[in-house]
Structure 1
Amino acid sequence: MSKTDDIAFAFDDEAVLLVGHGSRRERSNEQVRELAAALESRLGIPVDAAFLELAEPAIDEAFETLAALASEVTVVHCSLFAASHVKNDVPLAVEQARATHGIEINNGAHLGIHPAILDLLEDRAAAVERRLGVDRDEDDVAVVLCARGSSDPDANGDVHKLARLLYEGREFSRVEASFVGVTEPTLEESLHGLSKHRPDAVVVLPYMLGDGVLTQRVRDWTDEFDADYPYVEAVAGDPLGTDSRLLDVFADRWQEARSNSVEMSCDTCKYKVDLEGYEEDRGGARAMLRALAHQESHADREDVDDEPHSHDAPGKHVAVCTNRTCSGMGSSAVLERLRQAARDSEHCDARITRSSCLGRCGDGPMVAVYPDGIWYGDVDETDADRIVSDHLDRDRIVSDLVDQTL
């Protein structure tokens, strides 16, 4: 996004990176850029747009541009819910940018559920009602809120919550959540189910930011349903687009990130707790780095039957700093407790050894887990069981102990 010539930003100013998904439809990408320009006017600081895929610039390219303008960059997400892009891809890009450019980067939360979005959705529904000539106070009007669909149950659950909040206090006969794909119920299933209730009208709200491929798919499916069921009128509304109310949400997420008050729904995050059916899912920048290291180390071994697989060696190496400072803080007891917990475990595949100084004197005892690159700080004897049972046994990071990730 170009900056006007009459605005000069000092190096120590703050900037914002608005991250969108990216679409094969350039109009959808342009909407993200329009939002970035509007947010720049709202906040009075540089705001650039970047994309995860399918459009340019990529996130790393945008960071390179902003690093020349500002010493602090806040990432604001266009993602509607917190799924793998928010939890995995963007955090990894942020870590890489921190290491490359040496600037302060605040990573914000997804758009999520916000009063301004509910207000916007109600207006989108009202616009469809006017097109259909129906009045929810007098007619039976049903609403289907259709989102993209995710492999993350936490994100899908938020779609249902948003649908329920849209129903509360309004005169819709029902508001149902549905999805384009990945999970159920699909939009087609929801529409056919609603036909049994014979409403006067069905309002389909595509819960997408831009007017992209998926939005058009929602319109097509709605038109097919409308043609198949002549006794029910059905029309799809517009996506969120570039409505100014989105700027209220972006501004709130920006303020949360720069004040270190970002809140994520960790209690229902499949990457942090064991959810039925998702026990093997791993996420976060840590898991992606680990996967990359694993892929690289075994790329030339997969088709060689007589080549010893490196998993014959311990899967993880745990180093416990026993230098003078950490030893005085109890690291020897932590080392022995880790070894005992590992021996007691049926699943732990790790070698636990002493280490010389890890360079974090005063923050210890320090425990480093490789190849994951996770360093735990201020570890005491009682924490050792958690490191073994959660991290070494199940690849679940013990987040409250993390000192740094490499």
Structure 2
Amino acid sequence: MHHTTDAESGTDALAAFDDEAVLLIGHGSRREKSNEQVRELAAGLESRLEIPVDAAFLELAEPSIDEAFAELASLVSRVTVVHCSLFAASHVKNDVPLAIEQGRAAHDLEIDNGAHLGIHPAILDLLDDRAAAVEDELGVDRDRDDVAVVVCGRGSSDPDANGDVHKLARLLYEGRAFDRVEASFVGVTEPTLEDTLHGLSKHRPDAAVVLPYMLGDGVLTQRIRDWTADFDDEYPYVDALAGDPLGTDSRLLDVFADRWQEARTESVEMSCDTCKYKVDLEGYEEDVGGARAMLRALAHQDAHADREDVDDEPHTHDAPGKHVSVCTNRTCADMGSPAVLETLRQTARDSEHCDPRITRSSCLGRCGDGPMVAVYPDSVWYGDVGADDAERIVADHLDRDRVVSDLVDQIL
């Protein structure tokens, strides 16, 4: 019988990686700087794992996930997917799994799917350092002064993802000398950053440190800085400043490496007990089973199917998921429809979760019922819509695919 030596075992272990690659999946952005951050993380992870690591994107950047699988299929037989997503919302639970199933069907590939970044000691350590940097800039010391921290996430229609932001904030508070640590969101859900900061003012801390819980530095992080600066101006007795996002800090590679190891050893753990697609959660009963979510994932994918024919930026949203028509005929115009149209457009532009086409319409045949707004392909007509209602239509229907029932005039 041949007895394997330690040297031979080491050689065999290294050989096991010869036919494997990692695909790091980011969301994708119209800002090339954000896409380069994902590619930089992929290069760092490749150096850490010493196996090939490619980057791919859900949308707005190249290569797409299917293009990446097609390329890797000619080089390796096994691919492990690692997510750049901070929390498990629809992209992690629906869009990427759909792309993986399609990749398995199209190529002779063994594909392992890892978990999102989630809550990890390395991320807590990174957030602690981000807070310390802001404290240094403000000239405060958490051991001496009352320092409040706000962890600000993007916000999601998935309650499990939002709950993890609160858990992250609590873990950041535990064992540290902060006066308090609160969770807040840029949009989609509550509490908003503005409301959280105003609430903090009642406790009169010496300083408020706002930590954007995001990877890239883009539109939303700038919005966080602006809101924090406005709060600092409004409450001169509290020094407030926003810190930097997570960026490409090397500690993220520790998390990616753990998620890679979990995926390839089939030890991935997801929060199925609080997943709206698996259990009945108050207000989310219609999402159980994931059918609607999967249909949205397919529709989202189809919206980008013709991207090769677009002459300008790749992955642009040339086929929006929603088309919103606003009646601007005389009766509706006299009742305020131009303001409704502008509010819809502005709110949708500010949203990171929807990219609808919003257009004027001639008479929709409901004269006298107030400004009329029709949302397709859902065939939902809203009546007597005001500017404030327009914001709700974007936040609930366009962002979260939830009909604003009290505004419904008819569903065709």
Q: Same fold (TM over 0.5)?
A: yes
Q: State the Cα distance separating 1:288 from its structure 2 match.
A: 1.8
Q: Partners in 1 of 2:289 and 2:73 — Cα distance? A: 27
State which of 260, 264, 270 in structure 2 corresponds to 1:258.
264
Aligned match of 2:162 = 156
What TM-score do the two structures reach when normalised by structure 2?
A: 0.67
State which of 123, 131, 136 in structure 2 corresponds to 1:117.
123
Q: Partners in 1 of 2:109 and 2:219 — Cα distance? A: 36
Q: Partners in 2 of 1:75 and 1:136 — Cα distance? A: 39
Cα 1:58–1:139 shift into 2, 3 Å:
same
Letter paired with 1:75? V
State which of 274, 280, 285 in structure 1 corresponds to 2:286.
280
Letter paired with 1:227? D
Aligned match of 1:205 = 211
Is it true that 1:167 corresponds to 2:173 in the alignment? yes
Letter paired with 2:261? Q
Aligned match of 2:242 = 236
Q: Partners in 2 of 1:30 and 1:292 — Cα distance? A: 27
Cα 1:250–1:292 shift into 2, 3 Å:
closer
Aligned match of 1:57 = 63
- Cα pair 2:90 2:293 within 8 Å, conserved: no
Q: Partners in 2 of 1:63 and 1:285 — Cα distance? A: 25
Is it true that 1:104 corresponds to 2:110 in the alignment? yes
* Residue range with higher mean Cα deviation, 106-115 or 22-31: 22-31
Letter paired with 1:205? L
Secondary structure of the structure 2 residue equivalent to 1:280:
helix
Secondary structure of the structure 1 residue equivalent to 2:166:
helix
Query: Which deviations, in whole Å up to 9, do the C-alpha atoms of 1:130-187 show, x marking residues without a partner?
Result: 0000000110100000000000000000000000000001000000000000100000
Letter paired with 2:235? Y
Q: Partners in 1 of 2:152 and 2:297 — Cα distance? A: 33
Aligned match of 1:25 = 31
Letter paired with 2:283? G
State which of 124, 127, 130 in structure 1 corresponds to 2:133.
127
Letter paired with 1:170? R
Max Rg structure: 1
Letter paired with 1:84? S
Q: State the Cα distance separating 1:286 from its structure 2 match.
A: 9.0
Secondary structure of the structure 1 residue equivalent to 2:276:
coil
- Cα pair 1:11 1:68 within 8 Å, conserved: no
Secondary structure of the structure 1 residue equivalent to 2:286:
coil
Letter paired with 2:279? V
Aligned match of 1:14 = 20
- Cα pair 1:11 1:69 within 8 Å, conserved: no
State which of 134, 143, 166 in structure 2 corresponds to 1:137.
143
Letter paired with 1:131? E
Q: Gapped runs of 5+ residues in structure 2?
A: 1-14, 303-412
- Cα pair 2:81 2:113 within 8 Å, conserved: yes
Aligned length: 286
Query: Which deviations, in whole Å up to 9, do the C-alpha atoms of 1:373-403 show, x marking residues without a partner?
Result: xxxxxxxxxxxxxxxxxxxxxxxxxxxxxxx
State which of 218, 221, 241 in structure 1 corresponds to 2:224.
218
Q: State the Cα distance separating 1:273 from its structure 2 match.
A: 0.3
Letter paired with 2:71? T
Cα 1:259–1:229 shift into 2, 3 Å:
same
* Residue range with higher mean Cα deviation, 29-38 or 222-231: 222-231
Aligned match of 1:352 = none
Q: State the Cα distance separating 1:61 from its structure 2 match.
A: 1.1
Q: Gapped runs of 5+ residues in structure 1?
A: 1-8, 297-406
Q: Partners in 1 of 2:296 and 2:233 — Cα distance? A: 50
Is it true that 1:248 corresponds to 2:254 in the alignment? yes
Secondary structure of the structure 1 residue equivalent to 2:127:
helix
Cα 1:171–1:63 shift into 2, 3 Å:
same
- Cα pair 1:12 1:72 within 8 Å, conserved: no
Letter paired with 1:115? P
Is it true that 1:68 corresponds to 2:74 in the alignment? yes
Q: State the Cα distance separating 1:24 from its structure 2 match.
A: 2.5
Q: State the Cα distance separating 1:283 from its structure 2 match.
A: 6.0
Cα 1:286–1:149 shift into 2, 3 Å:
closer
Q: State the Cα distance separating 1:28 from its structure 2 match.
A: 1.3
Q: Partners in 1 of 2:202 and 2:123 — Cα distance? A: 30
Secondary structure of the structure 1 residue equivalent to 2:181:
strand
Query: Which deviations, in whole Å up to 9, do the C-alpha atoms of 1:261-282 show, x marking residues without a partner?
Result: 0000000000000001000015
State which of 66, 83, 105 in structure 1 corresponds to 2:89.
83
What TM-score do the two structures reach when normalised by structure 1?
A: 0.68
Secondary structure of the structure 2 residue equivalent to 1:70:
coil
Q: Partners in 2 of 1:62 and 1:292 — Cα distance? A: 19
Q: Partners in 2 of 1:174 and 1:30 — Cα distance? A: 35
Q: Partners in 2 of 1:76 and 1:158 — Cα distance? A: 19
Q: Which runs of 4+ in 1 moved over 2 A?
A: 9-12, 282-287, 289-293
**CA RMSD of superposed structures (Å):** 2.1
Letter paired with 1:159? V
Q: Partners in 1 of 2:296 and 2:152 — Cα distance? A: 35
